[in-house]
Amino acid sequence: MANEIPVYLFVGFLESGKTKFIQETFEDPNFDSGDKTLLLVCEEGEEEYNEKKFAFPGVTLKVLEDKAELNPQNLARLEKESGAGRVVIEYNGMWLLQDLANNLPENWIVYQCIATADGTTALTYARDNSMRSLLLDKIARSELIVFNRAEAVNNDAARQELHKLVRQASRKCDIAYEFADGSVAYDDIPDPLPFDLNAPIVEIGADDFGIWYMDCQDEPQKYVGKTVRFLAQVCQTNRAGKNSFVPGRFAMTCCVQDIQFVGFPCSYDGYKALEQRAWVTVTAKVNYKFHNIYRGKGPVLTAISVEPAEKPQNDVVTFS
């Protein structure tokens, strides 16, 4: 079996500061793992790498200008030719991250994903539906987003808008603001959950399903063993598994053109009697275990009761 190759992923739009961030990382001796490094650059901006300043040897830089080059065979070949024990990817901001996930060699494992954004354009992109969708795609998989040139968003209104943008994609992504003098400020806006996790039955409000879904996906362990009650639509699918269905909601990521159904697999002996897309109130226990729908571990529900319900006023939810 091939050795596991850690992948460090840097995402963001062109001129968002990805190259600068990676350059500074490579100039830090603490990033020297002793392994050779394959640096894959999927788009080239004005800033160029200065390999003479790297704090360690053994870096092979390859430019992938065409998405067609992003395939398991080519990536495995580059790994072999470089002798790399780790990979750093500067990803193209216009490419979806699922395209990358679908094309990584099986032994390449994403260890870390960091997003960068230009403070002078971040709000403009956040207000444009197509660009917002691409931004959210990157944020959803990142553990940190750095807004550089932060002077442009150094006010409460801008910070609140960017905070809401990030939380629409992820409740666990940290937010940092980097200024021209190199100083960094961290977002400390609180994110209280709109339901009581300590209640005997955690009641999820009709408009709060998206927030619960996101939080349960991000931190499933804190829901294990808890009983939840929520309003959902029935999705009958073979992917749910034996004696199971998927209760969920249609959720809007950024705009009406970007609506998707999200839910959790739920075992229920009476699932066959449920009508597709019927509205139901589900009371269920939460577990965290392997399920084919995740291709790994994820939140899995066991229904205690499933009762008919009325369609809510807002039948589409959001993640924030």
> Is residue 46 located within the same domain as residue 151?
yes
Asked if 232 and 213 count as a contact pair (C-beta separation under 8 A), the reply is no
Look at residue 219 and tell me if it is in a domain.
yes
Last residue of a domain, one of 130, 157, 186: 186
> Is residue 55 located within the same domain as residue 140?
yes
pLDDT of residue 46 exceeding 90: no
> Is residue 280 located within the same domain as residue 135?
no
Look at residue 195 and tell me if it is in a domain.
no
Residue in 292, 253, 25, 301 with CA at minimum distance from that of residue 131: 253
The confidence band for 45, taking pLDDT boundaries of 50, 70 and 90, is confident
> Is residue 167 located within the same domain as residue 269?
no
Query: How high is the pLDDT of residue 44?
Result: 85
pLDDT of residue 62 exceeding 70: yes
Query: How high is the pLDDT of residue 98?
Result: 92
Query: How high is the pLDDT of residue 252?
Result: 81
CA–CA gap between residue 187 and residue 193 (Å, rounded): 17
- What CATH number does residue 224 fall under? 2.40.50.140
> Is residue 24 located within the same domain as residue 119?
yes
pLDDT in tens, 230-284: 999 999 999 999 999 999 999 987 655 578 899 999 999 999 999 999 999 999 9
> Is residue 150 located within the same domain as residue 64?
yes
Look at residue 103 and tell me if it is in a domain.
yes
Can you tell me the mean pLDDT for 29-54? Answer: 94
Instruction: Give me the domain span that covers residue 59.
Output: 5-186
Last residue of a domain, one of 133, 162, 186: 186
pLDDT of residue 51 exceeding 70: yes
pLDDT of residue 216 exceeding 90: yes
Last residue of a domain, one of 117, 151, 186: 186
Asked if 247 and 285 count as a contact pair (C-beta separation under 8 A), the reply is no
The confidence band for 1, taking pLDDT boundaries of 50, 70 and 90, is low
- Amino acid in position 35: D
The confidence band for 171, taking pLDDT boundaries of 50, 70 and 90, is confident
Look at residue 297 and tell me if it is in a domain.
yes
CA atoms within 13 Å, Cβ hemisphere of 210: 20
> Is residue 16 located within the same domain as residue 144?
yes
> Is residue 122 located within the same domain as residue 209?
no
> Is residue 176 located within the same domain as residue 304?
no
Look at residue 193 and tell me if it is in a domain.
no
Look at residue 194 and tell me if it is in a domain.
no
- What CATH number does residue 86 fall under? 3.40.50.300
Residue in 287, 282, 292 with CA at minimum distance from that of residue 249: 282
Number of separate domains in the chain: 2
Look at residue 308 and tell me if it is in a domain.
yes
> Is residue 253 located within the same domain as residue 169?
no
Q: Which residue has the higher pLDDT, 97 or 46?
A: 97
> Is residue 254 located within the same domain as residue 146?
no
Can you tell me the mean pLDDT for 68-96? Answer: 97
Residue with structure tokens 């944020």? Answer: 139
Look at residue 277 and tell me if it is in a domain.
yes
For 45, 208, 230, 313, the CA distances from 309, given in Å and listed in that order, are: 53, 16, 10, 12
Asked if 252 and 209 count as a contact pair (C-beta separation under 8 A), the reply is no
Query: How high is the pLDDT of residue 295?
Result: 86
> Is residue 208 located within the same domain as residue 149?
no
- Amino acid in position 169: A
